[in-house]
Amino acid sequence: MDHKDRQIIRALQRNGRMTNQDLAAEVNLSPSPCLRRVKLLEKSGAIKGFSVDVDAASYGLPVTVFVRVTLERHTDACVGQFEQSVRQVDEVLECFVMTGVSDYLLRVVVADLADYENFVRKRLHSIGGIASIDTSFVYGVVKNTSVFPIIV
């Protein structure tokens, strides 16, 4: 991937709906080579797809929660069962394998505190094999972007 590919990606991260004409103008390419590069980035898997950035509160899920999960055991079976199960839980938007005290960090969205309690009791506890759950509620956002930094 070269500098021009990264320019294309950053432009599309800012506005995935821009036309190829506008994209080409922004990255100083003619439209045909620009479109060719976009197609190659998609084919290589560098661009995984296009989506819409939705305001969670407007959607009805105003509460964001970061949940740290520690497993009871770290056997292949326990880890595999947890990871397979958490992939099926719609409230979990992201799940990261972590170093440090906790094994996983989940980003969860819910409607309210009662909804979060229901999520923990019915969705997380039902997975099994969890030693501890530590919760932090988001009460403000300082920065939220999906645009990668420029690499020099």
3-state secondary structure of 58: helix
pTM of the model: 0.89
pLDDT digits 0-9 by tens, 4-46: 999 999 999 999 999 999 999 999 999 999 999 999 999 999 9
* Distance from C-alpha of 75 to C-alpha of 14, rounded to nearest angstrom: 41
**For residue 86, what are its two tokens?**
């958490």
Question: In the chain, what are the domain boundaries?
Answer: 3-44, 56-137
Please provide the average confidence, as pLDDT, over all residues in the chain: 97
Per-residue confidence band for 152, with pLDDT thresholds at 50, 70 and 90: confident
Average pLDDT over residues 75-95: 97
pLDDT digits 0-9 by tens, 124-151: 999 999 999 999 999 999 999 999 999 9
- Which CATH number is 56-137's, of 3.90.850.10, 2.30.42.10, 3.40.630.10, 3.30.70.920? 3.30.70.920
CATH topology of domain 3-44: Arc Repressor Mutant, subunit A (1.10.10)
> If we measure between CA atoms, which residue out of 138, 130, 140 comes closest to residue 104?
130
pLDDT of 55 reads 95
